[in-house]
Amino acid sequence: MPTLIEGLLSPEYSVLPAMLQERKALFELCESYQTALIKSKFGAPEEVSREIIWRSSRLMLEELQKNPYESHTYQRLVDMGHAFSPALEATTDFRLHHGEAVAIDMALTVTLAESLGFMRTDERNRFIAALMPAGLPICAPELTVELCEVALDEVVYHRGRSINFPMPVEISRCVFLEKRDSLPSSVIGAALQRLSREASRKGCGALFDERS
Ligand SMILES: [Zn+2]
């Protein structure tokens, strides 16, 4: 049983303010320049493109080097977007690209975060709004409540018998949920319906519909 002090020293509570600022700054760069970067295939503005690649690589390496063999903890920030996406990719026979499946997973995750009171509505909406100009989908008809349940059962096998689900509390920070029943089917179902409504209003469903 961890003591209070150990709990306070868990990775998320020990995140330095500088690192939170770094993550926020990276998000803001993507948010501000994504249309220009996508149009230019990440070529312009060149200094922004380099900055985004540099910062994201460094943040990813900083995360991975703390736990390279996954022997230290199953609570990994890099798992965000990777709870529902593997099952979604498989069910579409991998016609849905990995990045698209991860975007849908992240859209569902921030929607669950808001529904369960972890994340403010404006932060959740800002995150969703940042996916759309990048041409990323926020939902797919194949992602049903039943598939989400199967995906979470699978996650438990891979993450030390708990879901260890990175739950965002703001754009730069997550906490981790351990219990499988902290994500009830009813909340998942309502979140999927909400995303589907938002996607049909804004025309940002799964891109692969057009490819298949
Ligand atoms: Zn991935």
- CATH number of residue 203's parent domain: 1.20.1090.10
Please check whether residues 114 and 196 belong to one and the same domain: yes
Q: How many domains does the chain have?
A: 2
Ligand 1 center–CA 103 separation, angstroms: 10
Alpha carbon 78 to chain centroid distance? 8
The pLDDT tens digits of the residues spanning 12-31 come to: 444 567 788 889 999 999 99
Separation of alpha carbons 172 and 80, rounded Å: 12
Contact 176, 183 (CB under 8 A): no
Please check whether residues 111 and 129 belong to one and the same domain: yes
Percent of the chain with pLDDT strictly greater than 70:
88
Please check whether residues 59 and 85 belong to one and the same domain: no
Ligand 1 center–CA 78 separation, angstroms: 8
Asked, for residue 8, whether it belongs to a domain, the answer is no
Q: pTM of this prediction?
A: 0.87
Query: Given pLDDT bands bounded at 50, 70 and 90, which one contains residue 71?
Result: confident
The pLDDT tens digits of the residues spanning 75-92 come to: 999 999 999 999 999 999
Range of the domain at 42: 15-65
Asked, for residue 6, whether it belongs to a domain, the answer is no
Count CA atoms closer than 13 A to 153's CA, side-chain side.
Answer: 7
- Over 60: is that where the pLDDT of 7 sits? no
Asked, for residue 10, whether it belongs to a domain, the answer is no
Ligand 1 center–CA 2 separation, angstroms: 31
Asked, for residue 174, whether it belongs to a domain, the answer is yes
Please check whether residues 179 and 211 belong to one and the same domain: yes
Separation of alpha carbons 114 and 195, rounded Å: 12
- Over 70: is that where the pLDDT of 10 sits? no
Ligand 1 center–CA 14 separation, angstroms: 25
Asked, for residue 9, whether it belongs to a domain, the answer is no
